[in-house]
Amino acid sequence: MSVSRYALGVEYDGSRYLGWQRLGLAGPTLQQTLEDALSGVADAPVSTICAGRTDAGVHARCQVVHFDSNADRSPRAWMLGTTSRLPRDMAIRWCVPVSDDFSARFSARARRYRYRIMNRSVRPALGHAYLTWERRLLDAEAMHRAAQALLGERDFGAFRSAQCQANHARRELQEIEVTRSGDIVSVEVQANAFLHHMVRNIVGALSMVGCGERPVDWIAELLASRDRRLAGPTAAAAGLTFLNPLYDAAWGLPAEASPGPAA
């Protein structure tokens, strides 16, 4: 029987997981949980590749993964059968057959994240798993102005963790926007790829600008320094959600992952 490749859109709450990557016996991971469910549907071992590995406590609205299988299952059977075997904090949103040269990781031309901050004097009781809390008043407009210095292809050495295993720190940050809606300050960012803790380190630095601890032009100086030791704290994982990766329309994925042809 021939082997077919499928792409999945996966939604998850990362609160109780040690992150995406399979870690053996260290504790629950999203990859292992998904692969166990897929293997149950296939009645054979299944391995997955994802668009972007998320850290412990980070969520995803539409993580994209691909896998290969020779099991005779329809996309609907993969979607519903796998979801029925997953815990309630994970679900398969869609399943699409793809050509064997598609890679969830290497075919993606961009990835989008959103970080949400509850900015008020009292910590949140509702939705706290999806928000971080900052009691000091944040100036979202100042944060947005400061963030524009990060646009373009840059060396983001000042915003990578000490555990980052990437070969280099150059990334192309394509969009970054800081907005406020009531008590919620949101940072939405798109790049071709991200370094380990890059978004959380950017948010930590921008928060220092937002509360007046650093001037707007400090972000540009920090970027130029390439020195992580000069940056702000790493923002908590709970406020971060991986929104989706973006692929060229030719792959035939749903609209949320395929907004149109490459520019």
Q: What SS3 state is found at 75?
A: helix
72 carries an active-site annotation: no
| Distant-in-sequence, close-in-space partners of 167: CB < 8 Å, separation ≥ 6 | none
Would you list the DSSP string of 205-222? HHHHHHTTSS-TTHHHHH
Burial class (CB in 10 A: 0-12, 13-18, 19+), 171: buried
What amino acid is encoded at 53 in this protein? Answer: R
Interatomic CA distance for residues 161 and 155, integer angstroms:
13
What counts of helices (H) and strands (E) characterise the chain? 5, 10
Match 């540009």 to its residue by tokens. 220
Match 């166990």 to its residue by tokens. 36
Q: Which of 13, 36, 43, 55 is flagged as catalytic?
A: 55
Q: Where is 157: in which H helix or E strand?
A: none
Interatomic CA distance for residues 154 and 169, integer angstroms:
8
Q: Which residues are catalytic?
A: 55
